Amino acid sequence: APTLRLILGDQLDLDHPWLREPRADVLYVMMEVRSETDYARHHAQKVLAIFAAMRSFANALRRRGHRVRYIPLDHPHNRQDVVANLQALAQAHGAQAVEYQQPDEWRLDAALRRWAQQAPLPVRAVETRHFLLPRDGVTRRLGARRRWVMEHLYRALRREHGVLMNGEQPAGGRWNFDADNRQPWRGQPPEPPDPRPRHDVRALWAMVRQAGVATVGEPAAAALPWPLTRAEALAQLDAFVEQALPHFGPYQDALAEGRPRLFHSQLSFALNVKLLHPLEVICRAEDAWRAGCAPLASVEGFIRQILGWREYVRGIYWAHMPGYTERNALAHTRPLPRWYWDGDTDLACLRAAIGQTLRDAYAHHIQRLMVTGNFALIAGCDPAEVHRWYLGVYIDAFEWVEAPNTLGMSQWADGGLMATKPYAASAAYLQRMGDHCRGCRYDPRRRTGADACPFNALYWDFIARHEARFATHPRMAMMVRQWRKLPDDERRAVRQTAQAALQLLELD
Ligand code: FAD
């Protein structure tokens, strides 16, 4: 009687201890199920890339001599649910036990734990090795502190793993080179070529459509631009380190019309489905600095995202689930504008970010945080709806990383657990960091009137709506004082402009 071992679609880690050598008494189980395609409306490329990468992974396991049972979405006996399929397989094979690697999503973790409690056979969870810290690692380190700060975790992990260290001191004498970064991009150096492989997955797309899975965005099925194997992911990492990493730091926060990537890595998909291990990405970047191929400020900025933020948000997620995704500290209730789903808006920055998101299943951090996220925040959109959008539209969207970024960092729905202050900004920020305003019908310098950029009036309207809460907030009180200093008629005009903008943008 075999032991069944479940491998989920975001656990494509060939180096897991399970897989060291083939065993005749183990059957690996992988499955494509509707409960996974349907918990959000996913981008078509996300469904395709995950299924295609899973299929490649199953083949790689078979080539190494492992026994694999792969259930495609259209298999007649597919019960379209992880637990239901496992139950049926366990029975059919007379399995002696079922094992699974700890899922990264609370939803699946809860379903498997529930089943384990009542299943007629032993059902056991095993640790993964996908992150630097175990699930509760952040809580164990920061739990006692009154306020969790990412930087504390980041420095501790730098020391423990000896990353960018000179003995006890941080390389270059500083932990953080943010101040050297944050430059707008003026066209030079050129955006490097897109190094990603392309795949013809039209047959898979036909199967997904035939099944009636509701998706959003361009499938790009004839030339799917995401790595589907570890070798492809490693090649993408190499190309990034050589061509883009040297410029990553300075332009990390830049926005540019027609440049969806700039110097970002687009490695989040490979990292999140575990084709790459975070530590190997970190080491590769550090090696580039030690070899003199990339400046420290860029390398430190990049490493902080993975060693710091990525581990930190995962810790926030596990410390506050369940319930985190229902948080709404600012009591925002407006529906998300319809054009988040089709990009049809006359605000140039939003049109670019959303259009590209639907076309590529990708936008870089500043587009997510300061364009689409910022707008939803100052417009007062329901964070649960904003969360559903982000959970669907990005290639890298998995709840453990998406929810803290969306609800915490971008919508302040957790009341300040993730972010010390709301990431709300007016048009001045967008104009400083990018060139979208030049081609926009709205004027970024104006606060009131029909031509004024809606980000301005909505920003001040946001401050006004939350005046009482922010008047005593250490990092927001200054904005409240500025608002209060405006003459009465200016304040009235701002609020009217905000109302008109919301109506025009089909929000009221
Ligand atoms: P790069 O800029 O090249 O950064 C390198 C890597 O660092 C990324 O691949 C990623 O693994 C990691 N990283 C960077 N920033 C973060 C962060 N804030 N949190 C966690 N890891 C980070 N990231 C996801 O992986 N999945 C999501 O669903 C997701 N949703 C987001 C939603 C919002 C509202 C915001 C503001 C951010 C979100 N992020 C998410 C974080 C970040 O924007 C993406 O990781 C990044 O844009 C992915 O592109 P990249 O690989 O080119 O990143």
Q: Where are the domains of the chain?
A: 3-126, 137-197+227-320, 338-504
> Do residues 54 and 12 lie in contact, with contact meaning Cβ atoms separated by under 8 Å?
yes
Cα separation, 506 vs 231, in Å, equals 46
- For ligand 1, atom 18, name the residue with the nearest CA: 309
- For ligand 1, atom 41, name the residue with the nearest CA: 365
> Do residues 152 and 315 lie in contact, with contact meaning Cβ atoms separated by under 8 Å?
no
Give the position, in ligand 1's atom list, of the atom nearest the Cα of 367: 36
CATH H superfamily, domain 3-126: HUPs (3.40.50.620)
Whether ligand 1 lies within 6 angstroms of the CB of 383 is answered as: no
Cα separation, 165 vs 171, in Å, equals 5
| pLDDT on residue 460 | 98
Among residues 91, 177, 190, the alpha carbon closest in space to that of 83 is found at 91
Whether ligand 1 lies within 6 angstroms of the CB of 265 is answered as: yes
Structure tokens at 147: 């306020």
Give the position, in ligand 1's atom list, of the atom nearest the Cα of 278: 11
ipTM, 2 dp? 0.99
Residue of 305, 393, 399 with the most ligand 1 atoms within 8 Å of its CB, for mutation:
305
Q: How far is the CA of 102 from the centre of ligand 1 (A)?
A: 22
Q: How far is the CA of 305 from the centre of ligand 1 (A)?
A: 8
The backbone torsions φ and ψ at residue 323, rounded to the nearest 5 degrees and listed phi first, read: 105, -25
Q: How far is the CA of 365 from the centre of ligand 1 (A)?
A: 6
Cα separation, 460 vs 482, in Å, equals 10
| pLDDT on residue 41 | 98
What's the 3-state SS for 79-95?
A: CCCHHHHHHHHHHHHCC
- Burial of 275 per CB tally in 10 Å (0-12, 13-18, 19+): buried
- For ligand 1, atom 42, name the residue with the nearest CA: 365
Whether ligand 1 lies within 6 angstroms of the CB of 196 is answered as: no
CA distances (Å), 140 to each of 80, 105, 163, 313, 386, in order? 37, 19, 21, 14, 30
Q: Within 13 Å and on the Cβ side, how many CA atoms surround 26? A: 16
Region 338-504: CATH code? 1.10.579.10
* Tens place of pLDDT per residue across the chain (508 aa): 999 999 999 999 999 999 999 999 999 999 999 999 999 999 999 999 999 999 999 999 999 999 999 999 999 999 999 999 999 999 999 999 999 999 999 999 999 999 999 999 999 999 999 999 999 999 999 988 888 999 999 999 999 999 999 999 999 999 999 888 889 999 999 999 999 999 999 999 999 999 999 999 999 999 999 999 999 999 999 999 999 999 999 999 999 999 999 999 999 999 999 999 999 999 999 999 999 999 999 999 999 999 999 999 999 999 999 999 999 999 999 999 999 999 999 999 999 999 999 999 999 999 999 999 999 999 999 999 999 999 999 999 999 999 999 999 999 999 999 999 999 999 999 999 999 999 999 999 999 999 999 999 999 999 999 999 999 999 999 999 999 999 999 999 999 999 999 998 887 6
Structure tokens at 245: 């990493």
Give the position, in ligand 1's atom list, of the atom nearest the Cα of 373: 34
Q: How far is the CA of 166 from the centre of ligand 1 (A)?
A: 28
Among residues 22, 135, 131, 123, the alpha carbon closest in space to that of 82 is found at 123
Region 137-197+227-320: CATH code? 1.25.40.80
Whether ligand 1 lies within 6 angstroms of the CB of 310 is answered as: yes
